[in-house]
Amino acid sequence: MKFIPELFRERVMRHPDKVAIKEESLEITYNELEQLSNRLVSLVKQEIDNPFTSMLVVMPSSIRCIASMLAAFKAGTIYVPVSLSFTDSRMEAILSSNFDGLLITHEEDVKAVDQLLQKFGVSARMLITVTKENKLWVKKAGEQAATLAEGVLPGHQGQEVHIDGGEACYGFYTSGSTGAGNCVIGMHKSIAHFVKWEISHFDLGPESIIAQIAAITFDASLKDILVSLCAGALLCIPDPATKINAALLLEWIKSNRVNVIQCVPSIMRNLLNICRAYPAESYLSGVELVVLAGEMLYNIDVLNIKKEISAGAKIANMYGATESTVLKSCHLIDLSAETIDSTGIVHVGRPISDTFLAVVSGNSLCKIGEIGEIYIKTPFLTKGYLNNPALMEERFVQNPLVSEERDIVYKTGDYGRYLAGRNLEVLGRLDSEVKLNGIRVDLSYIESEILKLEEVYECVVKLEGPELQPELVCYYSGTVMPGSVMMSKLQSVLAQEFVPRLFIHFKEMPHNLNGKIDRKALQEQYERHKTANEGAEEAFNDTELALATIWKEILHISKVGRQQSFFEIGGSSISAIQLTARVYKQMSVLLQLNDIFLNSTIAGMASLVDNTAKTDYVKIPVSPRLQHHRLAPVQRNIWLMRQIEDEAISYNLHAAYAFEGEVRFDLLQEAMILLVRRHEILHTAFSVVAGEPVQYVVPEDGPEVHIPVITPADEASVEAILKSEAHYQFTLDQLPLIRVVLIRKGPVEHILSLVASHLIADGWSMGIVMHDFITIYESLVLKRPASLPLMELQYIDYSEWLNDFITTEAYRQKMAYWKKQLSGSNPFVTLREEFVRPAVKTYNGGEVLMVLPRELQALLQQMSGKSNVSMYMLLLTCFFVLVHLESGEDDMVVGIPNAGRGRKELEPMVGFFLNTVPVRIRDIRRQSFQSLLLQVKNALLEADKHQQVPFDNIVTELNVKRDPAFNAVFQLLFVMLNIPQVNNLAVTSVKNIRKLETETTIARFDITVFVEEMEEGSLQLKFEYNTDLYSRDNVNLKMQKYLLLLRMLTEDEQMPIGQIAIERYLGLSSRKGEMTATEKF
């Protein structure tokens, strides 16, 4: 019998130069994959002591991961895929019972792997790191550093691999919810048998293009990978972000011409939802085979799939278990020949070759239609469970139909029945295991973990809801806790996907006459809960319904409950500002930001709205167009500073976006013309009249914004072009004051560079410019109107309105607040400088970036929810602590940019709205972190009430004595970025739009901290610093201190600030480089 290495080698010999695997921008041929796996085998064979050595592979699905899998099969080791996202209990079990010291990872995760091994106190006998260039670095036990493996590489090439079919070749962990889980060990002969069967049964070959969708730590990944490689097909691997986004995955399937999809039905349903929304896209029209397994498949699913895939295509419904070696039965549905009812379950057909599926009741084979337990009999089972003899005895049992001889079969724990023709219909589980998204979930284990919570007395976990969209529900008695708190407590012991999403509380759990929990009563309570939620919007009063609509628009969600907290479901300080603006415009009630924090549920907010006096919404009036118009106060300050300072470039804004697609340059230019016409500020210039700066609108048929096209020689040229564009010099009385450049990296790879004078735009505006530009371009390509709202106002209307406002009594009262608030403040507080400050302020800048660790972000999110504050308030409070510890000052001011768009009609406008508010905090040393957090929250809320006062007017009123080496009032800025995103635009003319990080060379303050939520939900911190005051190492150290403070304060929020180990803390600043373990708090 031929096993996987030989089957693969045959394909290498037949077509060595054919592409075997394609991922993102990388691909590898069959011969190159053979060579890479052989090089790994040469290294691995040096360390093998016995034929059952396990080889942990710690990397996501990729070319390098699959090469490692093949190497394990060839070398006679056991391939065990591991994810860094595994729970601690599972990781500990793997490293303690299934780790023989052999580990392969990729360069992106090598540091995380080292930390993991240190965490659990184990060491690797050999750690192999595969680089992006497929170089192999080896670090053996006792060695301080890895070495590049070169001399041993050709050793294995061309050698035959002797394999015993009964030997182990892989290990996968099942029952993902059960902490450690159970490791199932597969055999060479069994996986080879299945792979050959599937290739033959579905007639797969070199023309097949197979999607690798299953998680690499799930045994279904073998079905994608090994079937493809042994069929001579092309295996396509989507990036992780694409895998979890149905819309992106469909685009990827279509663009890669995938014709074979294998997945669980729930994934297919998600894809079909998008297909139905965009029927013209025909995303799945090229798919010829869909193989579904792992969950119940319904006839309605088949009908829906049939509508989307190619004529003559096939759908297969399969059944099996990890323990039985992937899948063991198949129902191939010929869609051209079968009439399908729209109701009922799709059966799983008949067994594959050399397999028997027995439905048994008692010790007898069931008759057709009779329900019984399903057993699988085949010589191609797995070896069973690693180090779990009790479970082996329970699941791998004597054939109940045979008594006279030993005949071991697998007892699935499923029940089912034979239909006509002995086709098998699977009906569900007999025990506490269920399947969710194709993965087995042990409900009893989840219950045991929940019962460990001291607040819970009794609990039951069930899979509830419609068959197509089930959810895990926890019913419990004990102390009532918010669902978010319960989820947070369970995430450390359960895999994320197995944490219940709904928690239903009982004062006492219902019991029947036998003393058992009444599960029917639980079901009834669930139905009542869902009915109440589904009818919630209908049951809302008018005010609640109006608020719910606003919430959903701002937070981009489809449902909201009356008692859900705005901040627990995605609200932030900035979205709360948007909320107050929309409530004011739509409901004529002027709420303060503080009102949102104090009344954070729909019910509470509605009550406040109903009991607050109506204030007629006063629109910003459209101003008559004159020959010249006044500058807005923020514009006036920029203009004046440009006259005083040489560094005009310090008042430029620059953004760059990469995208893919064939560009119609003529339409790109036309889109730019239409964009300029849409936003009046983009054809506005500046001059001086009677000694005063003014702005004036140039007619739309005036100078056009031409888009230069540049073709760079290499990547270094791209960086040089972007740097040059960022420093572009504008002349304020000459249009345009925005410059757009297209950088063509290839036929379909482009970068769009945008640079604008700060007089006409802020960061939010740059996002709007890109959003509107792409939307208009898309409309021109598709020859349809652009889907953009009409502009109610233009920037000059806002400018004139604001200038009028500063003459009112309301403005004078707000100004009085700032004069009192800032009286006697110290404007010179900053983070300790490394170099002597120049006598005149400079603007030379650099930056240090860091992504907040996920587990720390989760702790901060939990803390902010518990304290009823936004994440921004929490991060800012920690920054105040950092400044206090570095400077020793107890009274300080930090600048906080405000978007200045507290009215809905301002949200889609381009212009300079940004206003910085100074936030003053005092008596830091004597407070705990929790009390300081409350002071920061109140200070921010008060600042928001008075944010309409331009910062430069405050400086003028305070009559600040200017020092040319410093900024006025404060030297530090803390920014939470909330720029309109373009990466999720539903456009087809261009793809994969993403904002590029452009390195900062300008710094307006000593240090500015930017906090930005990235595409995948993580938080990125950027410390922008003045290079004449700090070195990169020094700022990196400050950032590390800040990170340590965050960790420290989440562990003890009541910690007195004055008791932080200042001497130990300050000791960090005397060195450069990374901190040692002894230097940490």
* DSSP one-letter code for 343: S
Does the residue 76 lie in any domain? yes
- Residues 685 and 778 grouped into a single domain: yes
Greater confidence, 972 or 868? 972
Least confident of 524-533, 719-728, 908-917: 524-533
Token pair 């010829």 is found at: 288
Stretch (H or E) spanning 505 = strand 502-506
Mark whether 420 and 358 lie in a shared domain.
yes
Q: How far apart are CA 230 and CA 983, in angstroms?
A: 37
Q: For 451-541, where are the alpha helices, taking DSSP H only?
A: 483-490, 519-534, 536-539
Bigger pLDDT: 146 vs 529:
146
- The residue-averaged pLDDT of 815-821 equals 93
- Give pLDDT, residue 205: 96
Indicate which CATH number applies to the domain containing 727: 3.30.559.10
The structure tokens listed for 987 are: 């456009």
Among 151, 185, 219, give the residue marking a domain's end.
185
Total structural domains within the chain: 6
Band (pLDDT 50/70/90 cuts) for residue 1016 is: low
For residue 485, what is the domain's CATH number? Answer: 3.30.300.30
**Calpha distance 602→541 (Å, rounded):** 11
Cα Rg for the chain, rounded, in angstroms?
32
Domain membership flag for residue 385: yes
DSSP string over 769-789: HHHHHHHHHHHHHHTS-----
Is residue 614 scored above 80 in pLDDT? no
10 vs 1073: which has the higher pLDDT = 10
Shared domain check, 803 and 721 = no
Does pLDDT of 1067 surpass 60? no
CA distance to 463, 521, 539, per residue, from 531 (Å): 17, 15, 11
Q: What is the residue whose two structure tokens read 């400077």?
A: 887
Buried residues in 755-772 as b, exposed as e (16+ CB within 10 A):
bbbbbbbbbbbbbbbbbb
194-208, 385-399, 576-590, 957-971: the lowest-pLDDT one: 576-590
Residues in the chain: 1081
C-alpha distances in Å from residue 133, one per residue of 27, 30, 151, 280, 570: 12, 17, 18, 40, 40
Per residue in 981-990, pLDDT (tens digit) is: 665 566 778 8
pLDDT for residue 1066: 42
What integer pLDDT is reported at residue 1072 of this predicted model? 34
Residue 424 domain-assigned (yes or no): yes
Check whether 131 has a pLDDT greater than 70: yes
Q: How far is CA 491 from CA 244, 495, 496, 499, 859, in A?
A: 20, 7, 6, 7, 11
Average pLDDT, the chain: 85
Let me know whether 894 and 945 are in one domain: yes
> HSE-up of 736 (CA within 13 Å, CB side)?
25
**201: Cβ contacts below 8 Å, ≥ 6 apart:** 330, 332, 352
Q: Reply yes or no on whether the pLDDT at 1061 is more than 80.
A: no
* In a shared domain, residues 73 and 131: yes
Highest mean pLDDT among 676-690, 724-738, 776-790: 676-690
Share of the chain above pLDDT 90, in %: 44
Give the pLDDT confidence score for residue 1030 in this predicted structure. Answer: 96
Of 102-116, 627-641, 1066-1080, minimum mean pLDDT range = 1066-1080
- The CATH number of the domain holding residue 409 is 2.30.38.10
Does residue 294 sit within a domain? Answer: no
**CA-CA distance, 896 to 918, in Å (whole number)?**
6
Domain shared by 940 and 1020, yes or no: yes
The answer to whether residue 693 sits within a structural domain is: yes
309 in Cβ contact with 205 (< 8 Å): no
Q: What does the alpha-carbon distance between residue 1021 and residue 760 come to, in Å, rounded to a whole number?
A: 27
The last residue of one of the domains, among 160, 185, 210, is 185
Report yes or no on 222 lying in a domain.
no
Report, as an integer, the average pLDDT of 768-784: 90
For residue 495, give the 3-state DSSP assignment.
coil
The verdict on 920 and 1004 lying in the same domain is yes
pTM score, whole prediction: 0.50
* Residue 339: predicted pLDDT: 64
Q: Which residue has the higher pLDDT, 373 or 593?
A: 373
**Domain CATH code at residue 143:** 3.40.50.12780
Digit-coded pLDDT (tens) for 271-313: 887 888 788 889 999 999 999 998 878 887 898 899 999 888 9
Mean per-residue pLDDT, 384-405:
91
Inter-residue contact 726 to 652 (CB < 8 Å):
yes
Structure tokens, 336: 């051209």
Q: In this structure, are 954 and 1012 located in the same domain?
A: yes
Judge whether residue 564 has pLDDT over 70: yes
In a domain, 252, yes or no: no
Question: Rounded to 5, what percent of the chain is helix, strand, coil?
Answer: 40, 25, 40
What's residue 1074's pLDDT? 34
- What mean pLDDT is predicted for residues 953-979? 87
Q: Taking phi first (over 0 means left), then psi (-120 to 50 degrees means alpha), and beta for anything else, what does residue 927 get? A: beta
Residue pLDDT, tens place only, 786-804: 888 888 899 999 999 999 9
The pLDDT assigned to 525 comes to 84
pLDDT per position as a tens digit, 181-221: 789 999 999 999 999 999 999 999 999 999 999 989 999 99
Report the largest interatomic distance among the alpha carbons of the chain, rounded to a whole angstrom: 111
Burial degree of 291 (CB within 10 A; 0-12, 13-18, 19+) = buried
Look at residue 808 and tell me whether its pLDDT is greater than 50.
yes
Question: What sign has the CA pseudo-torsion 938, 939, 944, 945?
Answer: positive
**Same domain, yes or no, for 465 and 581?**
no
Cα–Cα dist 860/930, whole Å: 13
Q: What is the DSSP letter of 925?
A: T
Q: What is the pLDDT of residue 729?
A: 87
Among 876, 700, 906, smallest CA distance to 802 is for 906
- Tell whether the model's pLDDT for residue 863 goes beyond 80: yes
What band does 867 get if pLDDT is binned at 50, 70 and 90?
confident
Distance (Å, whole) CA 463 – CA 465: 7
What is the rounded average pLDDT of the residues 908-924? 92
**Do 736 and 870 belong to one domain?**
no
pLDDT, mean of residues 142-158: 65
Domain edge (last residue) among 385, 404, 429: 429
Residues forming a β-bridge with 695: 629, 686
Tell me the pLDDT tens digit for each residue of 440-495: 676 767 877 887 787 887 788 888 876 656 778 899 888 878 777 788 788 777 77
Instruction: Tell me the average pLDDT across 321-326.
Output: 95
Q: What is the mean pLDDT of residues 49-61?
A: 84
Q: In whole angstroms, what is the distance from residue 1024 CA to residue 1026 CA?
A: 7
Is the domain of 726 the same as that of 661? yes
Question: What is the amino acid identity at position 876?
Answer: L
pLDDT tier, 162 (very low <50, low <70, confident <90, very high otherwise): confident
Instruction: Let me know if residue 809 belongs to a domain.
Output: yes
* pLDDT (average), residues 669-683: 93
pLDDT at 1065: 44
Give the whole-angstrom CA distance, residue 822 versus residue 358. 82
C-beta of residue 994 within 8 angstroms of C-beta of residue 1011: no
Distance separating alpha carbons of residues 194 and 320, to the nearest angstrom: 11
- The beta-carbon contacts of 711-714 under 8 Å, at least 24 apart in sequence, are 711/743, 711/744, 712/743, 712/744, 712/745
Name the residue range of residue 898's domain: 799-828+854-1072
Give yes or no: residues 806 and 929 share one domain: yes
CB atoms within 10 A of CB 904: 18
Under DSSP, the state recorded for 702 is S
Query: Which domain CATH number covers 1002?
Result: 3.30.559.30
Residue 345's pLDDT band (cuts 50, 70, 90): confident
User: Which token pair is 534?
Assistant: 């589904």
